Structure formats: C-alpha cells, structure tokens
Amino acid sequence: MNRLGVEPPVTRWNDGGARSLDWTIDGVALRDLVPTQHQTPLFLDGNGWREAAVATLSRLLGDLPGDFDDGRVALVFCPRCGDLGCGAYSVEVVFGDDVVEWRTFGWQTDYEPFEDSEEYKFTGARFERKAYETLLRDLLSNYRA
C-alpha cells in the first residue's frame, strides 16, 4: 500500500507569493515527480481558493463528480487562474471496500478528451481507504472552516 500525505508549504508562485500544500505519495511530493509550476488548490494564504480546495477534496473523496467529463479529478492546476483549460495533472479515482486507487495519471484539459501519455506517467497508487479518507476529511474540515 502507498501512503498519501501533504507536504508543508514549500512552493511559491513567482508573482503572487501564494503558498500551497503539495500532495505526497510515500513521502515524495507529486511536484517532485512531475516537474510543473502547477499547484494544488490547498493554498494557505487565504487567497480566495477555499472553494476550489473544498471542491477538489470532495471530488477525491467521491462526494462530487470529477472535474472532467470522463470523471477524472485534477490534482494540480494553473496557479494563476485554476482554469482546467490551462491543463491539469489528473487521475482516475477508484474506490474499493478497503482501498482507494489513483490510476492513469496524466495531463489533461477540459476541451479535449484525455490522452494517455508516457510523459510523467505513474502506474498508479493504492491507499488504505480509512487513512485516505481521514486525511482528506481533516483537510476538508479545515478548508470549510
């Protein structure tokens, strides 16, 4: 099993100084695995992305449909506007009784169908469902507050 987490705010966007948490898989930041300026919507500077954070966490928990027509969920977005047309690194989220799987990682836009590419591709990650849901629901309660 893999371990999902978030990393302390170590990323900064050049012109806004906004800090956001990074997703980690087994202690490695997703942004280290996928070189990008894109960020999670889990901003810590009160910059108005609270609704986006709540929506993303709700999608990753299966409480809302995915960001894209095919049901995929965006993990990182354009830090300037959050527009899916700028591209997002997305994943298919599959729920089992005791496991949550992230499958078919890849870059995607909202105006073209997902095309599975070999660039920055992971084979997938499997998380223990209880730990996964505890982490995401704790984050969700913080962003709803």
Q: Is the pTM of this model over 0.95?
A: no
141: which 2 tokens? 């309660």
**In b/e form, how buried is each residue of 110-131, taking b as 16+ CB within 10 angstroms?**
eeeebeeeeeeeeeebbbebee
Total domains in the fold of the chain? 1
The count of C-alpha atoms lying within 13 angstroms of the C-alpha of 44, restricted to the half-sphere facing its C-beta, is 14
Q: Tens place of pLDDT for every residue, the chain, 145 residues?
A: 999 999 875 544 444 556 789 999 999 888 887 777 788 888 876 666 889 999 999 999 999 999 999 999 999 888 778 888 888 889 999 999 999 999 988 889 888 887 776 665 666 899 999 999 999 999 999 998 7
Which residues constitute the domain of residue 26? Answer: 4-144
Place of tokens 């009784």: 97
The CATH number that applies at residue 110 is 3.30.2450
